[in-house]
Amino acid sequence: MTDRRVVISGLGAVTPLGSHIETFWSNLMNGVSGIHTIDTFDTAVYDCKIGGQVRDFDPKPFFKNPKDVRRTDRFTQLAMAAAKIALQDSGVDVENFRRRDRFGVLVSTGIGGLKTLQDQLTILLTKGPSRNSPFTIPMLISNMASGVISMEYGLHGPNMCIVTACATSNNAIGEAWRIIKFGDADIFLAGGAEASIVEIGLAGFSAMRALSTRNDQPERASRPFDRDRDGFVMSEGAGIVVVEELEHAKARGAKIYCEITGYGLSADAYHMTAPPPDGEGAARAMQLALEHARVSPDQVDYINAHATSTDIGDLCETRAIKQVFGEHAYKVSISSTKSMTGHLLGGAGGVEMAACALAIRDSVIPPTINLENPGEGCDLDYTANVARERKVRVALNNSFGFGGHNATLVATAFEK
């Protein structure tokens, strides 16, 4: 690979905390929870009745052709919205962009069009195959968000969808970084989206006993690292960033949030849904990312933890951080923004990458809310409940997914 430097020059986030990037960031800084009782279907028979919904979302303003709204699943609509927000934030003039063959899209999802699958299967079983939509397959397949975004803006560069469960967004951003460094593109829209708050999604995760059932206090349900955590809270949304080669960004006068300097990935090869007790796979991903970035552990100021609010996951990530950082593990600021957003599954890493970029920009660490009594073995500095001012020169973004997929990104303050 070449020494081409890669930066983030635009942010787009559609989340339970808001869809304007500064609204999202303000709510994170103020410890606002986006978790509420699910209101899109009747949850009476479900153990879990709460989630992080993107409320009052109207996809129509984000599509040139209104018909495309009816032809896309909600996860694609959320991705399209985040992509447009990121492009507007970046200042890229897409209409007059000269080398569209070097403008790529790498937008992924962990599950894809789950509502489409559920709705069309219901039609099949109740009305027969003749009533199914001809758009059933295009609407539900995971790569369609990336494809539709490229069609909307006429972007002919590298285009693909990586599916690694909850590590998906980090892999998408990391591979965009790698492709740019290799010289095959100059700019990407990269990240992920998810829209799994539907009956089958809630039923499936509930059957695994993975979800919190703190239904009477939804805003307090997502509590990473806390002794009384009882599972994660499923959310929906999208996080997409503009990843751009430095000289390309400078040539158009772009603002630069931060530089992506490292990317590490690994496999646990251990269990379908649980990490190994020592967190070895996560530790290797972090170590590889730091090696790529040529950053030593004691230079890291902030870690946006994957920490979803599960007993085993939060503890194993803590152990992994201790393996990599040694004594510095007790000095680095850590937080789980999932305590406020819930877990956006395949969209999580993109949203959390935006949080890392903003932490670097504003020299502030977002908090982990609902952290009242740290759980056994969770003894690091998780920035409990209140945001903290701190100069952030180096930030790590961790994402780990079912199947044993681990992906870590390193973002550093941009220096000319």
Q: What is the pLDDT of residues 337-395, one digit of tens each?
A: 999 999 999 999 999 999 999 999 999 999 999 999 999 999 999 999 999 999 999 99
* DSSP one-letter code for 354: H
Of the listed 48, 161, 166, 258, which one is catalytic? 166
Q: According to the model, what pLDDT value does residue 241 have?
A: 98
- Residue 343 annotated to the active site: yes
pLDDT band at 262 (very low <50, low <70, confident <90, very high): very high
Residues 116-171: tens digit of each pLDDT: 999 999 999 999 999 999 999 999 999 999 999 999 999 999 999 999 999 999 99
Q: According to the model, what pLDDT value does residue 3 have?
A: 85
Quote the CA–CA distance of 393 and 153 in Å, as a whole number: 34
Q: Is the pLDDT of residue 1 over 80?
A: no
Which are the contacts of 284, defined by CB distance < 8 A and separation ≥ 6?
264, 266, 406
- Residue 328 annotated to the active site: no
Which tokens hold the place of 343?
């877990």
Quote the CA–CA distance of 269 and 124 in Å, as a whole number: 37
pLDDT band at 311 (very low <50, low <70, confident <90, very high): very high
Q: According to the model, what pLDDT value does residue 159 have?
A: 98
DSSP 3-state of 38? coil
Percent of the chain with pLDDT over 90: 98
Quote the CA–CA distance of 268 and 285 in Å, as a whole number: 10
> Which alpha helices (H) appear in 93-162, and where do they start and end?
114-127, 136-140, 144-153
Residue for token pair 């009384």: 228
| Residue closest to 310 by CA, chosen among 405, 219, 234, 404 | 234
User: Which domains are delineated in the chain?
Assistant: 6-251 (3.40.47.10), 262-412 (3.40.47.10)
- Residue 306 annotated to the active site: yes
231, burial (CB in 10 Å: exposed 0-12, middle 13-18, buried 19+): buried
Of the listed 48, 248, 316, 343, which one is catalytic? 343
| Residue closest to 240 by CA, chosen among 67, 26, 401, 81 | 81
Average pLDDT, the chain: 97
* DSSP one-letter code for 375: P
Query: For the residues 102-122, what does the mean pLDDT come to?
Result: 97
**Percentages (nearest 5) of helix, strand, coil residues in the chain:** 40, 20, 40
Of the listed 48, 248, 292, 306, which one is catalytic? 306
Q: What is the DSSP string of 69-104?
A: HHTS-HHHHHHHHHHHHHHHHHT--GGG-S-GGGEE
- Is 103 in contact with 62 (CB distance < 8 Å)? no
Angle formed at CA 65 by CA 59 and CA 67, multiple of 5 degrees = 75
- Is 341 in contact with 306 (CB distance < 8 Å)? no
Q: According to the model, what pLDDT value does residue 416 have?
A: 81
Quote the CA–CA distance of 174 and 286 in Å, as a whole number: 13
Amino acid at 120: Q
Q: Is the pLDDT of residue 2 over 90?
A: no
Which tokens hold the place of 218?
């939804």
| Residue closest to 408 by CA, chosen among 170, 178, 164, 242 | 170
> How many angstroms separate the Cα of 280 from the Cα of each of 169, 223, 406, 414?
21, 24, 10, 30
pLDDT band at 173 (very low <50, low <70, confident <90, very high): very high
Residue 398 phi, psi (nearest 5): -100, 135
- Is 83 in contact with 240 (CB distance < 8 Å)? yes
pLDDT band at 183 (very low <50, low <70, confident <90, very high): very high
Q: According to the model, what pLDDT value does residue 338 have?
A: 98
DSSP 3-state of 52? strand
